[in-house]
Every structure is written in C-alpha cells, then in structure tokens.
Amino acid sequence: MKIQSFYKLFIISTLIAFFSETTRAQSATVTVNEDAKIVQLLDLKKQLEKENKLSDGYTIQLYYGELNKANSTIKKYRNSYGAWPVSIEYETPNYKVWVGNFSSRLEADRALMEVQKSFGSAFILKRK
C-alpha cells in the first residue's frame, strides 16, 4: 500500500511540476535594427565569391621570394600571357605571384600546362 501511494504521489507531483512550467512560459518578439552597410558588405562578399577571391578554388603560383623578382615575374607573365589575372600576395617576409582564379582542378591543370612552358617551377595551389 505504501508503494502504491508513493507512486501516485510521484506521478501527481511530476504532472503538477510539468504543467506549472509550461504555464509560466513567456513569449516575445525581437526587432533587429541593422546598419545599411551590413547589406552592402554582404553584397560585396557575394561578388568576391563569384570572382573566386574569397572562396575555395585553385590558383597557380609562379614565384615565391623577393619583391623585385616578383615584379619582374609579373612583367614576364604579362608579356607572354594575358588570359588569367595575376596578383602579388604578401606572406612575411616573402612575396608570392599567383595566376588565375580557377574553380576546378581541371581548369587549373590546363592552365598550368600552358604556363609551365615559360615558368617551369609553377605549381597549383588549393586556396582555402
């Protein structure tokens, strides 16, 4: 008898505790005030991702070293090729010369075969 009354008391107290918590629940609305520049930044990010400057992709590295040689590498590249964009990236203390923004490895391999005719040490990088 004591066990049955204990179970009844336990079940009743559990039900009371459960229903009392749900009746105390609150509801609210949230209003977000955002700056207009946030929308502009998001649009800029989307645009850069389309150009593969911020997203995953492949690029070809032509040179890694001093700034003067990096600039001469860019001049040599521009005299020979113009199909893919070229840029200098700085990583302390050296400069990198990168070519192209390729979305697939196949595109990068095709470009590498062409570029290696003039730049034998060129190789493909996967950007993160």
Distance CA 127, CA 87 (A): 14
Predicted TM-score of the model (pTM): 0.56
9 is a domain residue = no
Distance CA 88, CA 67 (A): 9
Which CATH number covers residue 52?
A: 3.30.70.1070
Number of domains in the chain: 1
- 22-43 pLDDT, tens digit per residue, is 555 677 888 888 888 888 888 8
Neighbours of 118 (CB within 10 A): 13
105 is a domain residue = yes
75 is a domain residue = yes
- 87-104 pLDDT, tens digit per residue, is 999 988 999 999 988 888
92 is a domain residue = yes
68 is a domain residue = yes
- 108-126 pLDDT, tens digit per residue, is 999 999 999 999 999 999 8
- Rounded to the nearest 10 degrees, how much is the dihedral formed by the CA atoms of 80, 120, 61, 79? -10
Distance CA 33, CA 124 (A): 44
Residue at token pair 């075969």:
113
